Structure 1
Amino acid sequence: MTAITEGFPGRGAGILDRERIIAKPGFNRWLVPPAALAIHLCIGMAYGFSVFWLPLTNMLPGETTAACRDMSLLTALFTTECNWRMADLGWIYTLFFVLLGCSAAIWGGWLERVGPRKAGFVSACCWCGGIAIASVGVMTHQLWLMWLGAGVIGGIGLGLGYISPVSTLIKWFPDRRGMATGMAIMGFGGGAMVGSPLAQKLMEFYRSDVSVGVWQTFLTMAAIYLVFMMAGAFGYRIPPAGWRPEGWTPPAAGKSAMITQHHVHLRDAHKTPQFWLIWIVLCMNVSAGIGIIGAASPLLQEIFAGHLIGLPELSFAQLSAQQKLQIAGIAAGFTSLLSLFNIAGRFFWASMSDRIGRKTTYYVFFVLGIVLYASAPSFANMGNQLLFVAAFCVILSMYGGGFSTVPAYLADIFGTQFVGAIHGRLLTAWATAGILGPVVVNYIRQYRIDQGYQGAEAYSFTIYVLCGLLVVGLIANALVRPLDPKWFMKPEELAAIQARSENAEAQVRHGSFGIDRGRLDLPALLAWIAVGIPALWGVWFTLVKTAALF
Structure 2
Amino acid sequence: MGFFARERTVAPAGYNRWLVPPAALSIHLCIGQAYAFSVFNGPLTKLIGVTAPAPDDWTLPELGWIFSLAIVFLGLSAAFGGRWVESGGPRRAMFLSACCFGGGFLVASLGIHTHMLWLVYLGYGVIGGIGLGIGYISPVSTLIKWFPDRPGMATGLAIMGFGGGAMIGSPLAVELMKHFASPSSVGVGEAFIVMGIVYFAMMMFGVLTVRVPAADWKPAGYVPSTVPQKLITNANVHVDTAIRTPQFWLLWAVLCLNVTAGIGVLGQASVMSQEMFPGVITPTAAAGFVGLLSLFNMAGRFLWSSTSDFIGRKTTYAIYFALGVVLYAIVPWAGQIGSIALFVACYAVILSMYGGGFATVPAYLRDMFGTMHVGAIHGRLLTAWSAAGILGPVLVNYIRQYQVDRGVPASAAYSETMYIMAGLLVIGFICNALVTAVDSRHHYRAELSAAPAE
Q: Cα 1:54–1:64, aligned 2, differ >3 Å: closer, same or farther? A: closer
State the alpha-carbon separation in 2 of the partners of residues 349 and 359 from structure 1: 12
Which is greater in Rg?
Answer: 1
1:406 paired residue number: 361
1:136 paired residue number: 110
Aligned-pair distance for 1:203? 0.7
Aligned-pair distance for 1:457? 1.3
State the alpha-carbon separation in 2 of the partners of residues 275 and 456 from structure 1: 39
* Cα-to-partner distance string for 1:66-120 (whole Å, 9 max, x where unaligned): xx5xxxxxxxxxxxxx111011011010011100000000010001111100100
Alignment of 1:342-381 (within 5 A): 342-381=297-336
Asked if residue 98 in structure 1 is aligned to residue 72 in structure 2, the reply is yes
Contact 2:67–2:267, Cα closer than 8 Å, also in 1: yes
Q: Which runs of 4+ in 1 moved over 3 A?
A: 62-65, 490-494
Q: Cα 1:83–1:30, aligned 2, differ >3 Å: closer, same or farther? A: same
2:239 paired residue number: 266
Alignment of 1:28-39 (within 5 A): 28-39=16-27
Aligned with 1:218 (options 187, 192, 208): 192
Alignment of 1:134-533 (within 5 A): 134-254=108-228, 256-308=229-281, 327-490=282-445, 492-493=447-448
State the alpha-carbon separation in 2 of the partners of residues 156 and 133 from structure 1: 14
Asked if residue 51 in structure 1 is aligned to residue 39 in structure 2, the reply is yes
Aligned-pair distance for 1:253? 2.4
State the alpha-carbon separation in 2 of the partners of residues 121 and 264 from structure 1: 29
Paired amino acid for 1:421: A
Aligned-pair distance for 1:247? 2.6
Aligned-pair distance for 1:411? 1.5
Query: 3-state SS of the aligned residue for 1:297?
Result: helix
Asked if residue 126 in structure 1 is aligned to residue 100 in structure 2, the reply is yes
Paired amino acid for 1:34: P
State the alpha-carbon separation in 1 of the partners of residues 287 and 37 from structure 2: 10
Contact 2:274–2:280, Cα closer than 8 Å, also in 1: no
Query: 3-state SS of the aligned residue for 2:277?
Result: helix
Paired amino acid for 1:31: L
Paired amino acid for 2:298: I
* Cα-to-partner distance string for 1:377-415 (whole Å, 9 max, x where unaligned): 001100000011000000000000101111111122222
Paired amino acid for 1:22: V
Paired amino acid for 1:291: G
Aligned-pair distance for 1:466? 1.1
2:10 paired residue number: 22
Q: Which moved more, 1:56-65 or 1:328-337?
A: 56-65
Aligned-pair distance for 1:366? 0.7
When normalised by structure 1's length, the TM-score is: 0.80
Aligned-pair distance for 1:248? 2.1
Paired amino acid for 2:248: F
Query: 3-state SS of the aligned residue for 2:308?
Result: helix
Paired amino acid for 2:261: A
Unaligned runs of 5+ in 2: none
Q: Cα 1:144–1:175, aligned 2, differ >3 Å: closer, same or farther? A: same
2:88 paired residue number: 114
Provide the aligned C-alpha RMSD in A.
1.5
State the alpha-carbon separation in 2 of the partners of residues 358 and 351 from structure 1: 10
* Cα-to-partner distance string for 1:17-62 (whole Å, 9 max, x where unaligned): 1111111234322221111111111100000000000011112228
Contact 1:304–1:455, Cα closer than 8 Å, also in 2: no
Q: Cα 1:64–1:211, aligned 2, differ >3 Å: closer, same or farther? A: closer
State the alpha-carbon separation in 1 of the partners of residues 380 and 338 from structure 2: 42
The percent identity for this pair of structures is: 58
Paired amino acid for 2:41: W
Contact 2:180–2:191, Cα closer than 8 Å, also in 1: yes
State the alpha-carbon separation in 2 of the partners of residues 118 and 418 from structure 1: 18
* Cα-to-partner distance string for 1:113-152 (whole Å, 9 max, x where unaligned): 1110010001000000010110111111111110000000
1:542 paired residue number: none
Q: Cα 1:63–1:266, aligned 2, differ >3 Å: closer, same or farther? A: closer
State the alpha-carbon separation in 1 of the partners of residues 102 and 364 from structure 2: 32
Contact 2:373–2:453, Cα closer than 8 Å, also in 1: no
Q: Which moved more, 1:327-336 or 1:473-482?
A: 473-482
Paired amino acid for 1:410: L
1:77 paired residue number: none
Q: Which moved more, 1:474-483 or 1:148-157?
A: 474-483
State the alpha-carbon separation in 1 of the partners of residues 351 and 453 from structure 2: 38
Q: How many correspondences in the alignment? A: 453
State the alpha-carbon separation in 1 of the partners of residues 348 and 124 from structure 2: 27
Paired amino acid for 1:396: L
State the alpha-carbon separation in 2 of the partners of residues 102 and 361 from structure 1: 27
Paired amino acid for 1:408: A
Contact 1:253–1:261, Cα closer than 8 Å, also in 2: no
